[in-house]
């Protein structure tokens, strides 16, 4: 598989390519002497500093297997090979075929106003939500009880915004800072799960309870030391256990919150459970996990994958959706993952994409009936390596001859996403 990163030379971005033979194998085939190219699970679900590491001995092998993963990617240029294993390109083609199938299933239109009409309200709401969650976690650290009176009006406004135009608030979920990740992640998970629940046509009163659970799902991290939450190095086993304890702490805190519903409690208490029983804290399996907990798990992983951390590079949204689809073979219910993808679109709003014309742009609005043809604001030419006068192009219009050919990384092109997201 070829991996790319940018190098600046005379103000031009030159792509450097490194080739290697990457293969996908079952965890049972992994053995000492192999080199892991990708642990093939969310960075939240393992204690290693990197997804890439050499399998040095049996002790390390046992530690890797204890994570609960089923398949990994190995680099045969750096370690032992499995001759019959599927290449990463072959695995990728299978996922692409499944994505194409999902894209062909039409989703009903959801917006009642344009992004331009909603964006100012969404920006103010996003800022308000981050301030409120920061205040809640600060109160919990001081031993104070959560007051739902502070949470419910905020959740109502977030639900209203998503129902009017989800493509205004959802892209803002990608804007996070390292120091305030815990607060901002909670806000993002709340916004995403509201859109998800709406896509599943759940009743609005149920959506509100799901949203409350999502906004408060990580309050237990108030009882995890910052030195562990923000550690820019590999966690020890004891530190990883302490990190995982935040789920139980969240449940305890919410159980002592007057007025909290069972639905909200399920989202917080089960968002790290996995469909195959490999999650925590209770190793629940299949329908032992409520649908609300399963939704929370999918959204939590998606937002973590797409977020920048000190020790983790954010993944482009389309790539994260493909990972969720791949992991739905074991960790998530496939039908729910497919519904989540249809909710966000194949190229979620806020994604950087490349068009056939060579132009780069940010996806600004979805067409539920045309998931492969969103509205894109183009502003850069990839071939000419220069910025263009920004222009919105509706790829779904019959007269439009352009189309998306790939999703891209802002980092790869040296583009600041803050300048181009809503």
CATH superfamily, domain at 115-344: Hypothetical protein af1432 (1.10.3210.10)
DSSP codes of every residue in 343-386? HHTTTTTT-EEEETTSEEEEEEE--TT-TT--EEEEEEETTTTE
Residue 313: how many CB atoms within 10 A of its CB? Answer: 10
Whether omega for the bond prior to residue 281 falls within 30 degrees of 0, making it cis, is yes
In terms of C-beta density within 10 A (0-12 exposed, 13-18 middle, 19 or more buried), how is residue 148 classed? middle
Residue 237: how many CB atoms within 10 A of its CB? Answer: 10
DSSP codes of every residue in 165-228? HHHHHGGGGG---GGGHHHHHHHHHHHHHHHHHHHTT--HHHHHHHHHHHHTTTGGGGGS-HHH
CA distance 197 to 298: 12
CA distance 280 to 244: 8
CA distance 125 to 62: 46
Q: Which residue has 């009409």 as its token pair?
A: 117
Q: Is 143 left (phi over 0), alpha (psi -120 to 50) or beta?
A: left
Q: Could you tell me how many residues make up the chain?
A: 422
Give, in order, the Cα–Cα distances in Å from 385 to each of 5, 10, 25, 350, 414.
16, 12, 39, 21, 11
Domain residue ranges in the chain: 3-84, 115-344, 352-419
**Contact between residue 269 and residue 235 where contact means Cβ atoms under 8 Å apart:** no
Phi/psi for 172 (5° steps) reads -65, -20
Digit-by-digit pLDDT tens for the chain (422 residues) are: 333 333 333 333 333 333 358 999 999 999 999 999 999 888 778 878 788 889 999 999 998 998 889 999 999 999 999 999 999 999 999 999 999 888 887 766 668 899 999 999 999 999 999 999 999 999 999 999 999 999 999 999 999 999 999 999 999 988 787 668 888 999 999 999 999 999 999 999 999 999 999 999 999 999 999 889 888 777 888 999 999 999 999 999 999 999 999 999 999 999 999 999 999 999 999 999 999 999 999 999 999 999 887 667 789 999 999 999 999 999 999 999 999 999 999 999 999 999 999 999 999 999 878 899 999 999 999 999 999 999 999 999 999 999 999 999 998 999 998 888 87
pTM, two decimals, is 0.90
Give, in order, the Cα–Cα distances in Å from 238 to each of 62, 225, 234, 244, 390.
17, 13, 11, 10, 50
Residue 158 exposure: Cα atoms within 13 Å on the Cβ side: 33
């Amino acid at each position: 598989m070829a991996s790319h990163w940018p190098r600046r030379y005379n103000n031009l971005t030159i792509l450097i390519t490194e080739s290697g033979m990457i293969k996908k194998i079952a965890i049972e085939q992994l053995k000492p002497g192999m080199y892991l190219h990708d642990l093939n699970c969310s960075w939240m679900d393992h204690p290693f500093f990197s997804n890439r590491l050499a399998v040095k001995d049996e002790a390390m092998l046992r530690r890797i297997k204890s994570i609960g993963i089923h398949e990994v990617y190995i680099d045969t240029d750096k370690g032992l090979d499995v001759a019959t294993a599927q290449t990463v390109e072959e695995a990728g083609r299978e996922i692409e075929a499944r994505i194409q199938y999902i894209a062909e299933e039409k989703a009903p239109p959801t917006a009642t106003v344009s992004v331009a009409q909603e964006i100012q309200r969404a920006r103010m709401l996003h800022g308000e939500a981050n301030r409120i969650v920061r205040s809640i976690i600060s109160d919990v650290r001081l031993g104070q009880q959560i007051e739902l009176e502070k949470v419910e009006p905020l959740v109502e406004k977030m639900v209203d915004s998503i129902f009017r135009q989800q493509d205004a608030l959802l892209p803002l979920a990608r804007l996070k800072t390292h120091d305030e990740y815990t607060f901002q992640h909670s806000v993002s998970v709340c916004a995403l799960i509201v859109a998800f629940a709406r896509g599943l046509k759940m009743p609005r009163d149920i959506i509100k309870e799901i949203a409350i659970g999502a906004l408060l799902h990580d309050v237990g991290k108030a009882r995890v030391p910052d030195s562990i939450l923000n550690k820019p190095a590999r966690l020890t086993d004891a530190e990883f256990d302490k990190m995982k304890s935040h789920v139980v702490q969240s449940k305890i805190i919410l159980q002592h919150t007057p007025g909290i519903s069972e639905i909200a409690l399920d989202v917080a208490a089960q968002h790290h459970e996995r469909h195959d029983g490999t999650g925590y804290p209770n190793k629940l399996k299949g329908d032992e996990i409520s649908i609300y907990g399963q939704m929370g798990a999918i959204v939590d992983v998606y937002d973590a994958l797409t977020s920048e951390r000190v020790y983790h590079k954010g993944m482009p949204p389309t790539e994260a959706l493909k990972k969720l689809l791949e992991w739905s073979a074991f960790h998530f219910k496939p039908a729910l993952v497919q519904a989540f993808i249809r909710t966000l679109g194949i190229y979620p709003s806020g994604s950087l994409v490349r068009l056939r014309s060579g132009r780069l742009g940010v996806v600004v609005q979805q067409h539920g009936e045309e998931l492969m043809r969103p509205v894109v604001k183009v502003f850069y030419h990839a071939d000419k390596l220069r910025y263009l006068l920004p222009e919105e192009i509706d790829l779904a219009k019959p007269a439009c001859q352009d189309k998306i050919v790939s999703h891209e990384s802002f980092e790869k092109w040296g583009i600041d996403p803050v300048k181009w997201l809503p």
